[in-house]
Structure 1
Amino acid sequence: MKEILRTNDAVLVSAVTALLDGADIAHMVLDQNMSVLEGSLGVLPRRVLVADDELAAARQLLTDAGLAHELRPHNP
C-alpha cells in the first residue's frame, strides 16, 4: 500500500474515500480513530493508502476530480 493523501480535513477524507469506493480502488484510511487520543483537535492527519497496483489509477481519479493539489508527491 502507498500513501496517496495526508490531511486533517475529515470532509476531504470522506470525499476521497467515496471516489475510491466508486471506482473500486482498494484503499484504507489510517489514523482515523486517533482523534480519541488527541481530544478531537484535528492535530493528527489521516492518511489514505491505496494498493500499489492501483496507485496510478487512484492518482488519475483524484486529479480528474480536481484534487491533484492534495496528493502526496509520487515516489515510485
Structure 2
Amino acid sequence: MKELFRTTDPTQLAFAVALLEGEGIAAFQMDVHMSVLEGSIGILPRRLMVREKDMFLARAILCDNGLEVG
C-alpha cells in the first residue's frame, strides 16, 4: 500500500474515502487512533493508503474533487 493523502481534517478524510469507495477503490485509514497520544487536539495527520495499482486513478479522483494530493 502507498500513501495517497494526508490531513488533520477528519471531514476531508471521510470525503476522500467516500469518493474512492464510490469508484470501487479500497482505501485504508492509518493513524486514526493517534488522538489518544495527542490528547484529541488534532495535530497529528491521518493517512489514507491505497494499493499501488490504484494510485494513479485514486489521485485523479481526489484532484478532480478539489482535494490536494501530495
Give the TM-score, by structure 2 length. Answer: 0.93
Pairwise CA distance, 1:26 = 1.5
User: Match for 1:63: what amino acid?
Assistant: C
Q: Does 1:20 align with 2:20?
A: yes
Query: Is 1:66 aligned to residue 49 of structure 2?
Result: no
1:48 aligns with 2:14: no
What is the aligned length? Answer: 70
Letter in 2 for 1:31: D
Instruction: Name structure 2 gaps, 5 residues minimum.
Output: none
Deviations 1:18-75 (A, max 9, x none): 10111110110100111122110101100001110000010111111122xx201xxx
Task: Give, in whole Å, the separation in 1 of the partners of 2:65 and 2:43.
Answer: 26
> Structure 1 vs Structure 2: percent identity of aligned residues?
47
Query: Which residue of structure 2 lines up, in the alignment, with residue 7 of structure 1?
Result: 7
List alignment gaps of at least 5 residues for structure 1: none
Supply the RMSD in Å over aligned alpha carbons: 0.8
TM-score normalised to structure 1 length: 0.86
In the alignment, the residues of structure 2 paired with residue 66 and residue 38 of structure 1 have an alpha-carbon distance, to the nearest angstrom, of 28
Distance 2:6 2:27 in 1: 13
Q: Report the Cα distance in structure 2 between the residues aligned to 1:20 and 1:38, rounded to whole angstroms.
A: 28
- Aligned counterparts of 2:5 and 2:29: Cα–Cα separation in 1: 9
